[in-house]
């Protein structure tokens, strides 16, 4: 049964055990009994933070594209009570303690995304009158991502294209005389928090279509339990995690510009997965999950480094796939069958409330009588092509009248 505008698909299936491979799993299992945070939130933010601390050295290649291990993730709750911030505190504490230097904790974690120019400035190259950024690693943590999306939607705002370049790992620059700064070798990661309703309202069709949404891992999160007195991780267990992770970070840094490749066994598994991962899906859900192959490989590289492995083995790929399946399920839960076209989504919502169907005139009236006939026609055509709406033709004394119905399936 398709989700309606008033309902959503089921909450994604819980993360499988494969996703908790290695030290990432040790971290979640150690912290989880002592926090109200969702295990998925703990895992995702830990991996994003780890990828940023490691920096742009270890990487993998897909044809001509070089992929560093920087990740973008959005944690999406039904409400503000999803304990998203609590989960970040645990991940930040562990990774900062294991970073090997105070620079990352003190300078590389920032908030306040508002423009592409501001992002480039944070990781800018040195100039004659400016020593540049102290470190090219940058982890942006946005606890109010709805505000970021609203700012990004303003005319002339350059944040979306610069973020896309940052995920790709390319050099960052805006070709205007007014802003001559550029950033080469930047390593940018993003953690964002938002509620589901805010996200669906603020993420526009353009944001999805232009490749912004598919740079992110989407995680549906909620409070895992109630701890009225809070929780405290035993000191000995926390210290053991820090010591283990410190050694892993040192190992990753020692690899330099190492290219991680799949083992023979992992390559066989990859070949069996590739067709499904690369298969396109419809609607906004399809738009925000269309970089599955690259996302899975970035995750697999991190799982490999957590095992101090210079290659990606089968178990690392399985762990990455398990986490991706959760992110994919989360995206389906978050976006439902939305098309990412505001007018088409609004017409579908209206049609689903009508048992007897509606004419184009009635639909325009329901939209406030401010839509052009061509706009209504384009949106209805899109709904029909995607199988969400159908029409009948009614004979009248004049021109036949179309009556539109939402598909009940």
pLDDT value for 232: 85
By three-state DSSP, how is residue 109 classified? strand
Cα–Cα distance between 320 and 322 in angstroms, integer?
5
Structure token digits, residue 163 = 């973020």
Integer-rounded Cα Rg, in Å, for the chain is 23
> pLDDT tens per residue, the chain (409 residues)?
344 444 457 899 999 999 999 999 999 999 999 998 999 999 999 999 999 999 999 999 998 899 999 999 999 987 666 566 678 999 999 999 999 889 999 999 999 999 999 999 999 999 988 999 999 999 999 999 999 999 988 888 999 999 999 999 878 998 776 778 899 999 999 999 999 888 888 887 667 767 899 999 999 999 887 776 677 889 999 999 999 999 999 999 999 999 999 999 999 999 999 999 998 777 788 889 999 999 999 999 999 999 999 999 999 999 999 999 999 999 999 987 777 777 888 898 899 998 889 998 899 899 888 888 888 888 898 888 878 889 998 877 778 889 999 987 5
Cβ–Cβ < 8 Å for 10, 56: no
Distant-in-sequence contacts of 386-393, Cβ < 8 A, 24+ apart:
386/282, 386/283, 386/339, 388/2, 388/337, 388/339, 388/348, 389/347, 389/348, 389/351, 392/357
Cα–Cα distance between 328 and 400 in angstroms, integer?
43
SS3 content of the chain, % helix, strand, coil (to 5): 50, 15, 35
Q: Cβ–Cβ contacts within 10 Å for residue 100, how many? A: 12
Cβ–Cβ < 8 Å for 71, 298: yes
Q: Where are the alpha helices (DSSP H) in 99-223?
A: 103, 116-122, 145-152, 159-168, 196-202, 205-209
Cα–Cα distance between 40 and 229 in angstroms, integer?
22
How far from the centroid of its chain's Cα atoms is residue 349's Cα?
26
Cβ–Cβ < 8 Å for 205, 63: no
319 Cβ contact partners less than 8 Å away, ≥ 6 residues apart: 18, 19, 20, 21, 22, 24, 299, 300, 303
Domains, the chain, ranges and CATH?
17-335 (3.40.50.300), 342-406 (1.10.10.10)
Task: Give the burial string for 112-148 (b: 16+ CB within 10 Å, else e).
Answer: ebebbbebbbbbbbeeeeeeebebbbbbbbbeebbbb
SS3 string, 187-201, reads EEEEEEEEEHHHHHH
Q: Cβ–Cβ contacts within 10 Å for residue 378, how many? A: 13
Listing from the earlier edge strand, what are the strands of the sheet with 401-406? 358-359, 401-406, 389-394
Residue 74 bridge partners (DSSP): 192, 218
One DSSP character per residue, 14-26 reads PPPGGGG-HHHHH
**pTM strictly above 0.85:** yes
pLDDT value for 1: 36
Cα–Cα distance between 367 and 345 in angstroms, integer?
12
Q: ∠ CA(14), CA(20), CA(22), 5° rounding?
A: 180
Task: Give the burial string for 182-193 (b: 16+ CB within 10 Å, else e).
Answer: bbeebbbbbbbb
By three-state DSSP, how is residue 165 classified? helix
Cβ–Cβ < 8 Å for 199, 81: no
End-to-end, the C-alpha distance of the chain in Å comes to: 6
């Amino acid at each position: 049964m398709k989700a309606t505008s008033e309902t959503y698909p089921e909450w994604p299936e819980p993360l499988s055990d494969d996703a908790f491979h290695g030290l990432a799993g040790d971290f979640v299992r150690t912290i989880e009994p002592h926090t109200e945070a969702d295990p998925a939130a703990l895992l995702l933010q830990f991996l994003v933070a780890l990828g940023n601390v490691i920096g742009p050295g270890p990487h993998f290649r897909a044809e001509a594209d070089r992929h560093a291990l920087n990740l973008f993730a959005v944690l999406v709750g039904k409400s503000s009570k999803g304990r998203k911030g609590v989960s970040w505190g645990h991940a930040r504490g562990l990774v900062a303690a294991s970073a090997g230097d105070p620079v990352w904790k003190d300078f590389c974690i920032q908030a306040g995304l508002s423009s592409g120019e501001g992002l480039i400035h944070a990781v800018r190259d040195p100039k004659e009158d400016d020593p540049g950024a102290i470190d090219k690693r940058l982890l942006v943590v946005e606890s109010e991502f709805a505000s970021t999306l609203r700012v990004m939607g303003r005319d002339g705002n350059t944040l979306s294209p610069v973020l896309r370049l940052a995920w790709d790992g390319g050099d960052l620059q805006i070709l205007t005389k007014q802003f001559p700064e550029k950033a080469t070798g930047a390593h940018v990661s993003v953690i964002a928090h938002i509620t589901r309703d805010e996200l669906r309202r603020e993420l526009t069709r353009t944001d999805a279509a232009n490749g912004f949404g598919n740079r992110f891992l989407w995680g549906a999160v909620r409070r895992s339990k109630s701890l009225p007195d809070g929780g405290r991780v035993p000191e000995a267990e926390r210290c053991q995690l820090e010591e283990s992770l410190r050694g892993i970070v040192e190992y990753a840094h020692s690899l330099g510009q190492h290219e991680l490749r799949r083992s023979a066994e992992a390559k066989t598994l990859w070949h069996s997965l590739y067709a499904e991962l690369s298969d396109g899906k419809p609607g906004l859900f399809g738009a925000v999950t269309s970089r599955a192959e690259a996302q899975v490989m970035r995750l697999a590289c991190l799982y490999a480094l957590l095992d101090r492995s210079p290659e990606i083995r089968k178990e690392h790929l399985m762990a990455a796939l398990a986490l991706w399946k959760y992110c994919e399920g989360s995206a389906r839960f978050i976006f439902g069958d939305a098309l990412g076209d505001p007018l088409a989504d609004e017409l579908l919502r209206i049609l689903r409330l009508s048992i007897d169907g509606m004419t184009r005139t009635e639909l325009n009236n329901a939209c406030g009588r401010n839509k052009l006939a061509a706009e209504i026609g384009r949106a209805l055509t899109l709904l029909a092509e995607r199988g969400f709406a159908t029409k009948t033709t009614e004979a009248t004394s004049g021109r036949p009248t179309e009556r539109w119905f939402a598909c009940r399936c």
